[in-house]
Amino acid sequence: MLSRIHYSKPSITDLEVEYATDAARNGWGPHCYDYIHRLEAGFAKYIGATFAIATSSCTGALHMGMSAIGVGPGDEVILADTNWIAAASVIVHLGATPVLVDVLPDSWCIDPEKARTAITPRTKAIIATHLYGNLCDMDALLEIGQRHGVPIIEDAAEALGSAWGDRKAGSRGLFGAYSFHGTKTMTTGEGGMFVTSDPKLNHKVLTLNNHGRVPGETHQFWSQVIGFKYKMSNIQAALGCAQIERIEELVGRKREIFAKYRDAVALIGGVSINPEPAGTINSAWMPTAVLAPETGVSREQLLSAFKKANIDARVFFHPLSTMPMFPDVPGNVVAHDIAKRAINLPSYHDMSDDDIARVVGVLRECLDSASAGSARD
């Protein structure tokens, strides 16, 4: 039996162990926020944002950010139907309504024109989710937002390291949110980050993240508003400090794996992979293979083939509108179509070239088998 190829796992070195050990031994009392503040400063510098607030998850960052801009009952928030459920869940928790629109066939990210036509007097925000490292068309979305007075929120959970020129994903909207889950390019086990360059919004989120206690309040244990508790622990932040010091290495390795997949896929035919338009960088958190409709190969066939080869693979996100909690939106034809013939490929940092070749080999065999079957028919 060939060894298991996992779809994702973190890159942990002696540096992470050293920092986490130091936090466990010494990061208490007056030092209980040392690594948190250090991580926030390092992350803000990397992203190019003025402020960063470490959180327990990307979900928490989105929840506080949307709460801070006043999303609430009666409001609508527009987002892509192809999405992880976290963003939609936060909208519902705040009493607002998620408005699910279709995605573009090339980037699999929110279609700006569909977002524009979905705007109503109740629209409070548009969420730009950068899917699997792919970038939303932020130029179009920001122009739409400015024209209609609607803020653009960047869900950059899956796009740490992606960029337009020198502008990092998550730095262009009113605020950005990131995930440091164990599957992500950079990890703290669980965790996330809120970033913004708006001082008033930053102050609101700092207040919300401390049970509604205003920064600088001298009256101990005094809250001004009902808040949340989405803080990251100092030990988690210690891991994050090591990871942000290694961020160029971590993103660079992801891009090396992506490039190998891209070159190999180009020789197969009938399959495409994450796009990287001119002038952009795709950090390729999750390289994704989308098989052309004419191949006739389905997601289930791909999953079965990978399982037989002892290789992990993930399904492409199901459209949120196909889940029982949300109204069906059959008009979102691109989101519904792509999910049936796409799969996320393994891409952990220490994959070998042989591992990548095994993954590509399964794709090739699936396509060759389908082609042979069509020829017999």
The tens digit of pLDDT for each residue in 238-295 reads 999 999 999 999 999 999 999 999 999 999 989 999 999 999 999 999 999 999 999 9
Question: CB–CB of 377/320 below 8 Å?
Answer: no
Right CATH for 248-376 from 3.40.50.300, 3.90.1150.10, 3.20.20.370, 3.30.70.20: 3.90.1150.10
Q: According to the model, what pLDDT value does residue 376 have? A: 53
- Residue intervals of the chain classified under CATH 3.90.1150.10 are 248-376
Angle, CA 70 vertex, CA 68 and CA 79 arms, to 5°: 95
Q: In angstroms, rounded to a whole number, what is the distance separating the alpha carbons of residues 28 and 44?
A: 24
| Interval 326-343 mean pLDDT | 96
Q: According to the model, what pLDDT value does residue 373 have? A: 59
Q: Reply yes or no on whether the pLDDT at 372 is more than 70.
A: no
Share of the chain above pLDDT 70, in %: 98
CA neighbor of 362 nearest in space, from 304, 321, 320: 304
What number of other Cβ atoms are within 10 A of residue 368's Cβ? Answer: 12
Structure tokens at 44: 């803000």
The amino acid sitting at 103 is V
Q: Reply yes or no on whether the pLDDT at 374 is more than 60.
A: no
What's the DSSP call for residue 232? P
Q: Reply yes or no on whether the pLDDT at 371 is more than 90.
A: no
Which CATH topology does 14-245 take? Aspartate Aminotransferase; domain 2 (3.40.640)
pTM of the shown model: 0.96
Q: Reply yes or no on whether the pLDDT at 307 is more than 80.
A: yes
Residue 353's φ and ψ, nearest 5 degrees, are -60, -35
Structure tokens at 374: 């069509």
Angle, CA 366 vertex, CA 268 and CA 337 arms, to 5°: 85
What number of other Cβ atoms are within 10 A of residue 354's Cβ? Answer: 10
| Interval 305-330 mean pLDDT | 96
Strand ranges of the sheet holding 280-281, from the earlier edge strand across to the other edge? 167-168, 163-164, 280-281
Q: According to the model, what pLDDT value does residue 1 have? A: 73
| Interval 128-147 mean pLDDT | 98
The CA–CA distances, whole Å, from 73 to 76, 93, 104, 155, 368 equal: 9, 10, 29, 21, 52
3-state secondary structure of 211: coil
- Residue intervals of the chain classified under CATH 3.40.640.10 are 14-245
